Amino acid sequence: MSDPAAWIAPWAWHSAGHCLIPPRNDPHGPGAAPPAPWSATLQAQLEGALAADPASQASWELACALLHQPPRGPLRPLADQRRRALVGDTVTFVVNRNLNFTNHCLKHCSFCAYRRDAGQPGAFWHSFDSLQARAQQAVQAGATELCIQGGLNPEARLEGSCLGYYRALLRALRQVAPGLHLHAFSPQELLFIAEQDQIPLQRVLEELRGEGLGSVPGTAAEVLCEAVRRQLCPEKLSARQWCAVILQVHASGLASTATLMAGHLETPAHRAAHLLTLVALQQTAWQHQRSGFSEFVLLPFIGAQAPAALRQRVGRDQPDLQAMLALTAQARLLLGPWFVNHQPSWVKLTLAGATEALRWGCNDLGGTLMEETITSMAGAQGGSRQTASALAAAARSLGRPVRQRTTLYGPVEEPACV
């Protein structure tokens, strides 16, 4: 189907066009004078401009000034202060397990070391029995969440239906882990199901929610700018489609996370446009009394095993920690009161790097994961599992209190020993 709005509700497609903020001329781009050091006064001006209209020229200019702030100077302490004012000193984490059920995928993203064709070395498609065994292990380990994502496998069908397969997958997991929150299926996966079965996205959301879908990972966003996406992931859903799917997810009563994949081909202007778009989407959710985004997660690009063409252009196998810490602080300040929860990726930054990110505006350390395939196959050095005690120790090393949380940041009745 060539119509990009096919399967998406007309209201969501229309609203996505307003929420998606394209990059403009960067007043602090190459050859321009650096911006003035960030200050509490500029922060107040930015938040005032965003509250009025994230798409305004004032919002754009202030966002660009913030995204050009250097790591040294007032950036870190201001982000740390803003974090404390919004969410306090307590560091949180969730005990969860990743379930990457297949890496068979019909897309060919330029950054992806995870996807395989069926029969190719390294390809996998786990059976329901295997996934149920992993879910039972998660229950025994005290998990409260299963995070379920996979490649776009056109063979994943049940009685000819792609939606039927995904419904059965959730049902199988609920049978062995009835109390666990199912955090599953990115906007790309949800749209893929609708496209495969040629049914409205709304039906997909309603039926998956009926099978226990509790919230949605906000991955596949990469950078919400078409110029960047044409180089990174030209076969993937567009930036506007991602926004439209998210709007429908939120309208269906499901919260989602929000992400930014950074440190590759994007510029500060692309980052500014992406973050402003997230604010616009969150404002839309809140205006309709919807939960919206539960957290923001920065995902640094890992190039060690990425396809050669992109790896050579980026020229870096692992993230530039100092640059990612600066972006962590910038995101905290730009997203302001619209995103109180910020999470680094210990898989991508290592636990030591993620711990340092707690000083740059983050308040959450993510999940224990127990297994992780997508980033590990890209060559990340952070490992694929953490224990609750390790995450708690990381927070306490900074003198910060710590608590286990649920997926949506509620209290845990019987927390793991931390």
CA distance 39 to 208: 46
Closest CA to 310 of 373, 265, 263: 265
Tokens 């996966």, residue located: 189
For residues 229-237, average pLDDT: 95
Helices (H), 306-387: 308-314, 321-335, 346-357, 374-377
Residue pair 252/202 in contact (Cβ under 8 Å)? The answer is yes
CA distance 335 to 276: 8
For residues 39-65, average pLDDT: 98
Tokens of 28: 């602090």
For 145-176, the pLDDT digits (tens) are 999 999 999 999 999 999 999 999 999 999 99
Residue pair 48/331 in contact (Cβ under 8 Å)? The answer is no
What average pLDDT does the structure give for the chain?
A: 94
For 181-200, the pLDDT digits (tens) are 999 999 999 999 999 999 99
User: Partners of 255 in the beta sheet?
Assistant: 215
| Length of the chain measured in residues | 418
Any domain includes 80: no
Any domain includes 5: no
Does the structure show a pLDDT above 60 at 379?
no
- Residue 322 neighbours by CB distance under 10 Å: 12
Any domain includes 372: yes
What DSSP state is assigned to residue 301?
Answer: -
Any domain includes 272: yes
pLDDT of residue 372: 62
Rg of the chain's alpha carbons, rounded to an integer? 20
Residue pair 191/202 in contact (Cβ under 8 Å)? The answer is no
CA distance 256 to 285: 11
Does the structure show a pLDDT above 90 at 2?
no
Any domain includes 268: yes
Tokens 């926004």, residue located: 243
Residue pair 189/148 in contact (Cβ under 8 Å)? The answer is no
Residue pair 374/63 in contact (Cβ under 8 Å)? The answer is no
CA distance 299 to 349: 9
For 293-309, the pLDDT digits (tens) are 999 999 999 877 777 78
Residue 150: strand, helix, or coil:
coil
360: domain CATH number is 3.20.20.70
pLDDT of residue 380: 52
CA distance 56 to 354: 33
Number of separate domains in the chain: 1
Any domain includes 227: yes
Residue 100 makes CB contacts below 8 A (sequence gap 6+) with: 114, 149, 150, 371, 372, 373, 374
Helix and strand numbers, DSSP H then E, in the chain: 16, 10
pLDDT of residue 1: 47
Any domain includes 97: yes
For residues 84-103, average pLDDT: 97
3-state secondary structure 59-93: HHHHHHHHHCCCCCCCHHHHHHHHHHHHHCCCEEE
Residue 146: strand, helix, or coil:
strand
The residue segments making up the domain with residue 108 are 88-404
- Residue 366 neighbours by CB distance under 10 Å: 21
Any domain includes 118: yes
For 107-118, the pLDDT digits (tens) are 998 888 889 999
Tokens of 147: 């995070």
